Amino acid sequence: MQRISDKKRIYIILIIASVILYFFEYSMISESTELTKFHELQLLLIYGIVQGVSIKKFGMFNIFSLILVGFFIFAVGGILHFVLSGDNIQELEGVGYGNFYFTNVQIQRSLLIYSLFIALAFFSYNIFHKDEYSFVGYLSKTQKDYVCFKIGKYLMWIFLFVEIYKGYLFFSSFSIDRVLIYLYGNVENPVPTWVRFLATFFEMGYAFVLCSKPTKNEFKNYSALYFVVLIPEILVGNRGMLGGFILFYLWYYARFYNPKPIRMKTAAILGVVMLFVFQLMQFYRDGLDIRNTSFSMTTFLKGQAISFYILPLYIQNIGSIQYYNYPFVLYNVIGGFSGYTGQSIEVLQHNCGVGHQLMYTINPDYYLAGASFGSNSIVELYDLGILGVIIGALFFPIMISFLERQFVKRRFALFMSYFLLTNFILSARSSYFPSFYAIVKYYIFYIFILLLYNLVNGKAKTSNAGR
């Protein structure tokens, strides 16, 4: 039996201590405004320490470090605004679905759950992250696959015009009515089904390029091509798509070409620029006049905090949810196989997603019109109680550590890297698990295209040999 190292023993002790501290602080929760401020500061302090140590120990572009960046942008960063401005964190106004007010108890519970999750996930990652499985040791075994690169290149160029046409439809509809396209994207989607289907081949082409482990210049060029055609869809208001792509690009570049692609100072500047661009996108999406609107980074972060507020919204409405078929955390595991899509009563009766169920509970008309809050991994876990949060926080780094090894050992895992990493990086505003249904579809497509290529290539060789 393998002996537990002293460092791991320390992290195990810290995990136990964190859980004990959680229950102690939970027992002290009250309607005190000062206590709410304490929990705000505690969450920011825990996040700051965890992120700082993670960058120093694992690297700026380590997966866990990037996931923490996602948590800051879409959840924790909003808390910074309330600490600095003195605004009331209990009020959520102007989100399009109505104005909401939360009690201090609901906010304190939410802040405490976030603090516990981040702390436990960090301690668990220190236990399960293994240096001997670092990317450096496997780079020589992950050399360029010319077949995958050729397939990816052909798919991207052949279906480029479809992706451009899809972007045109997005952009033209978006320019007509930005807010409605954003709010009712599922119903008012301006892109026909056949266009979205064919555009999938372009996206799969990029996945093939990634799994081929292209040269540095090839990676830059095809990533630029992929990004450019995404711009119209990003302008609809999908800031998560922009943030996810940028963070994924930095991860891939750091892991396969240069462990330190940019300095810390440059990364900080890039982060500020990215937030600035995000706020411009928000102004444009909401139809605001930029000339008459002031810029504030903390105010922008507050705008992103809607993902944080999904937890207090859930706590506030937990007893009012009508359609509850299975735990929320299983939505991405089994939901895709149900065959029910869109937003309707029938979908609610068969699927169980956080964003769908909460939006219908709070505003049925908005939900049936196509609006949704989106998901939140911590809410999905808390749906199982605090034990679900504890187990989920400890298991989360196990999934990450597993993927870190698979990305350099399995070609298909690298094929899935963009899909999987963006899901985890954006977990503060998405589901805990990636979509199992999507993974199955990706795998079938991956195998089918490779078999088709080998079949065609084999026939071509046979035909040439017979001449």
pLDDT single digits (tens) 122-178: 999 999 987 644 444 444 445 778 899 999 999 999 999 999 888 888 777 655 444
Name which of 55, 84, 87 is nearest 69 in CA terms.
55
Give 126 or 239, the one with higher predicted confidence.
126
**Cα–Cα distances in Å, from 342 out to 16, 34, 64, 324, 346?**
42, 43, 32, 17, 10
Q: Output phi, psi for 140, to 5 deg.
A: -65, -25
Buried residues in 166-196 as b, exposed as e (16+ CB within 10 A): bbebbbebbeeebeebbbbbeeebbbeeebe
pLDDT in the model for residue 282? 57
In sequence order, what are the residues at sequence separation of 6 or more whose Cβ sits closer than 8 angstroms to the Cβ of residue 450? 147, 151
214-to-139, 208, 447, 452 alpha-carbon distances in Å: 12, 10, 20, 22
Mean pLDDT throughout 293-320? 77
- The alpha-helical segments, DSSP class H, found in 6-103 are 6-27, 33-58, 63-71, 77-85
Band of the pLDDT at 244, cuts 50, 70, 90?
Answer: confident
How many percent of the chain have pLDDT more than 90? 42
Average pLDDT of the chain is 82
Partners of residue 91 on adjacent β-strands: 101
Give the DSSP letter of residue 3. P
Range among 15-24, 189-198, 226-235, 239-248 with highest mean pLDDT value: 15-24
Residue 21 banded pLDDT, cuts 50, 70, 90: very high
pLDDT band at residue 464, thresholds of 50, 70 and 90?
Answer: very low
> Comparing 160-169, 267-276, 395-404, 418-427, which segment has the lowest mean pLDDT?
267-276
pTM metric for this prediction? 0.87
Question: CA-to-CA distance for 156 and 223, rounded, in angstroms?
Answer: 11
DSSP label at 237?
Answer: T
356 pLDDT more than 90 = no
Query: With 60 as the cut, is the pLDDT of residue 1 above it?
Result: no
Angle at which helices 160-176 and 146-158 cross, to 10°: 50
Backbone angles phi, psi at 123, to 5 degrees: -65, -40
pLDDT of res. 459 = 54
pLDDT of residue 303 exceeding 90, the answer is no
Assign 333 a pLDDT band (cuts: 50, 70, 90). confident
Tokens of 356: 């769908």
